[in-house]
Amino acid sequence: MAAIRGAARSATPAAGWAGQGQAPTAPRTGNSVDWVTGYGLVAVVALLFSISGGMLWLVGYNYDGLTGNPATKIHPSTYLLVLMFAWRACTFGNPVGYTLAIADRRPASALLAVMSIMLLVVVIVRQRPGMAGMIDTFVAAALLVMMLAEADEKTFARMQTVVHAVMTVNALLALFEFATKTLVFPYRLDGEVFMNDLRSTALQGHPLSNATITSIYVLALLSGSKSLSMPLRLGLIGLQCAALVVFGGRSAMVTTIALGGIYLLFSGVAYLRRGRISLPGAALAVMLASLLPVVVVMLFSYGFFDALLERFVSDSGSANARVEMFELFKHFELRDLIVGPDIDLIESLRRINGLEQGIENPIIRLLLYQGAFFTLLLFFGFALFMHEVARRCHPGIWLPMLGWLILLNTSESLASKTTLMTKFVVIALALYRPVKVAGRPGAQGVPR
């Protein structure tokens, strides 16, 4: 009878939690979710990667602009993600228990979400800019990572397919826009199109957002995406690199070439040291290397690199802006920088110093607009969050992670409203999913 009572207690989650005094944990049934949640998370990823502000403007949804209904400042993928969270919490049977369960599995993500919500309240009370940014930039990324803690292999496989498909369409659309000199979904600010910027916008919206996520994706194809065959990966890398040129992202291009070249060099040396060289593969590599100069010359003759060369020659004051932003600190005292200076004064000084396009560094912008205390809290939460994401990936994640950390410092990025961080964690968790060890699901398989 004692054995039967013990078995009954272990089979009943509520009794187990009450008896042991521990926080509830998510079901251990193979880390699976119901089909609505599984397909809902895949739909979140599809919306996230394929719907831009320019596309939303066409249906009357002013996402990128400064005016209009505040509800339209949140990306549709974030709304769907919150809906999936509510659905899963209700079907779990205990919404509070579900929240504690996924928070227990992903504590750093939970900390970032709670911290961002608290800071959102502070921003609203102090009437400072960045309310929507707290939600789309930080809360959405943290919530998605928490929900993916119990996703199964089928869900991650579908996410991989969505990422590869959307990024392929994104690159093809970018090349089409370059060839036809027509932007299908141009970047708009309150409906106004920047006519002097004809760089491709594709599905990701702003050219720099396209360049950043394309660079991360290329690096992920190099050291991740092990489920794809080598020829397919090489084809996708070539296509994405071509798209990266027409996006005109100088920092993204340099980062991709530098980090990708270093990775290929060390990987090639390691491959040669193992002594296993495929003769057909070596012949193919030599043939491609000999054809590469011809292809480059042909692309130059058709003006393929003209837009990129123009960006390197004339950057519209971007390089000067990264120098001038440090001049702003001369106008504030230490106590102002701790809590955040007056917004009107910052805006005036920014325009006087020729920074109409913004402050192109997230740390500097956060320091000036929100204060040092606010910035340190977000930096602490962000560092723990990135470490937690990296722990759930196989070792090759260092390559896109390093590229991500470099590129986010070349623009306002995390200091403004952006979906880039959520896209990065999707690429990391989906394309660097550790291979489950057969027969050992609890020990050396997919991390909890």
pLDDT tens-place string over residues 314-331: 555 555 566 667 677 777
Higher pLDDT, 95 or 194: 95
Q: Which two tokens stand for residue 431?
A: 């394309």
Which pLDDT score is estimated for 4?
A: 43
Q: Which token pair is 127?
A: 């009437």
Among 91-95, 222-226, 237-241, 302-306, the minimum mean pLDDT is found in 302-306
pLDDT at 5: 46
| Residue 207: burial class (beta carbons within 10 Å; 0-12, 13-18, 19+) | buried
Q: Please compute Rg for the chain using Cα positions.
A: 24
Question: Phi and psi of 80, rounded to 5°?
Answer: -65, -35
Answer yes or no: is pLDDT of 310 > 90.
no
- Note the pLDDT tens digit of each residue in 377-409: 999 999 999 999 999 999 899 999 999 999 998
User: 121-125, 220-224, 280-284, 302-306 — which one is most confidently predicted on average?
Assistant: 220-224
Please provide the average confidence, as pLDDT, over all residues in the chain.
81
| Structure-model confidence comparison of residues 356 and 79, the more confident one | 79
Q: Which two tokens stand for residue 115?
A: 């911290």
* Helix (H), strand (E) at residue 81: helix 76-92
**What is the model's pTM?**
0.83
What is the Cα–Cα distance from 247 to 46, expressed in whole angstroms?
21
Q: Read off the pLDDT band of 10 (50, 70, 90).
A: very low
Q: Provide the percentage of residues in the chain whose pLDDT is more than 70.
A: 77
Q: Which amino acid is at 47?
A: L
pLDDT (average), residues 345-356? 73
Tell me how far apart the alpha carbons of residues 237 and 218 are, in angstroms, rounded to a whole number: 6
44: enclosing H helix or E strand: helix 35-50
DSSP H or E run through 189: strand 188-189
d(CA 191, CA 188): 5
Q: What is the mean pLDDT of residues 156-180?
A: 95
- Per-residue pLDDT, averaged over 232-261, amounts to 91
Q: What is the pLDDT of residue 214?
A: 96
Residue 8: what pLDDT? Answer: 44
Instruction: Work out the burial of residue 70: count CB atoms within 10 Å of its CB; fewer than 13 is exposed, 13-18 middle, 19 or more buried.
Output: exposed
pLDDT at 319: 56
pLDDT digits (tens, 9 = 90+) for 28-75: 434 578 899 999 999 999 999 999 999 999 998 999 888 888 899 999
Q: What is the pLDDT of residue 265?
A: 86
93-122 pLDDT, tens digit per residue, is 899 999 999 999 999 999 999 999 998 988
pLDDT above 90 covers a percentage of the chain that reads: 45
Which whole number is the average pLDDT over 151-175?
95
Helices 420-431 & 140-147 angle (0-180, nearest 10)? 20
**For the residues 133-162, what does the mean pLDDT come to?**
94
Q: Which two tokens stand for residue 233?
A: 């990966």
Angle at 442 between CA 436 and CA 444, to 5 degrees: 50
